[in-house]
Each structure stands twice: as C-alpha cells, then as structure tokens.
Amino acid sequence: MTGATARTILRLRLHFAGGGIIGPGKAELLERIERTGSIAAAGREMKMTYRRAWTLIETMNAMFRAPVVESARGGPGVGGAALIPTGREVLRLYRALESGAQRAGAAEIAALERLARPGPPADGDGDGDGG
C-alpha cells in the first residue's frame, strides 16, 4: 500500500454502439487467460464459475469483429486457451485507456479524494483486493 491516492480506484467501461461493453472484469479475465493459458484457471482466480468465464469470453468473441480467445473448448480442466491477436489488442488498448485516464484525471481524482471521507485502513473492507 503506497500513499492515500493509490487507494482510490478509477474504473472505466466502454459502451459500444453495437451494445457490447468492455470493462474491468472482462479485461482482467483476458489478462488472466493470457497468463494461465486456461479459461478455467483464469475464472477460478476471479472466483467465477467456468460457465460464467466462458459466457464472458463468448460475449467478447461476438462483440468484436474477430474472436478474442481461442480455446480447445473441452470444458473445465480440458484443453487450453490463448488470447489471439484481437484479444491482445483489446487488452492493450483497454489498459492504455485506463492509464491515460488516470494520468489525465490525476488532479480531479486527488481533489475528489480530498472531499471524500477517509476510509478504513487499507483492505479494511475485507475483500482482500486492496480497494
């Protein structure tokens, strides 16, 4: 935990004209699939059922012009999964959008933070995510 400002979290969601939404949950899932090579493992890390993780991937595969994840589709524990180019690009762009917004809004975030009541000590909300 570093400093007070590190504890205010900015979350972004991009709502596309076609109805799709990309936000922190889908980005995190893509990131974990890239790292673990498995939809089931990525979902487990996020305390999500395999079915839920797979549904999110299917939503993303349908939302973009090309699929984001390629999978052996064997169900939990079977086969592997990997980000394919569109998935990597979506993740990269989303993370760049996020960090650009953090930088551009640093003054406003700090000012809003000063107006907010101080929180409990880091992780005092018990969810273990530092937030």
Query: Which of 35, 28, 33 has the alpha carbon at shortest distance from 12?
Result: 28
Of 32-40, 46-54, 72-80, 117-125, the segment contacting a copy of itself by CB under 8 A is: 117-125
**Does residue 116 bind a copy of itself (CB under 8 A)?**
yes
One of 9, 49, 58, 72 touching a copy of itself (CB under 8 A): 9
CA dist 65 and 20 (Å) reads 12
Q: Which two three-digit tokens encode residue 6?
A: 């590190």
* From candidates 8, 35, 43, 49, binder to a copy of itself by CB under 8 A: 8
Of the pair 4, 78, the CB lying nearest a copy of itself is at 4
- Beta-carbon contacts of 113 under 8 Å, excluding residues fewer than 6 positions away, are 4, 5, 8
Is 97 a binding residue for a copy of itself by CB under 8 A? The answer is: yes
Residue 51 and residue 58 in contact, taking contact as beta carbons nearer than 8 Å: no
Tokens 């762009």 belong to: 93
Residues engaged in binding a copy of itself (CB under 8 A): 4, 7-20, 22, 62-66, 86, 89-90, 93-94, 96-97, 100-101, 103-105, 108-109, 111-113, 115-120, 122, 125, 130-131
